[in-house]
Amino acid sequence: MICVEVRVEADALEDAIENGVERLATFLGERLGTDVRGSGGALVLELPDGQAGARRRLRQLLKKFLYREGLSEEFRVISDGGGGFIVKRRKPKP
């Protein structure tokens, strides 16, 4: 089976919760059953390329993590344009 590496930039979480990136890596590893490598504020996951909806499932899990940590009003998940995701702080509402 061919796997594709997906990068998740989550360094913004470190400001909001203690050990945010490590907690996210543990959460994703348990849910996806895959190896999650981290360096700095970035995570690298290997997802099966042939599995339909693997990236969609990853995005859903990132949003679920934010919701469970009470951060869904403060952060959002966006695509980086190259197949990865960025967990980014929302702009304040006027």
**Torsion angles phi and psi, residue 11, rounded to 5:** -65, -20
pLDDT digits (tens, 9 = 90+) for 58-69: 999 999 999 999
Q: What predicted TM-score, i.e. pTM, was given to this entire model?
A: 0.88
pLDDT at 43 over 60: yes
Structural domain boundaries of the chain? 3-89
Sequence letter at residue 63:
K
Q: What is 3-89's CATH number?
A: 3.30.1360.210
pLDDT for res 81: 85
Give dist(CA 94, CA 45) in Å, integer: 36
Give dist(CA 49, CA 18) in Å, integer: 33
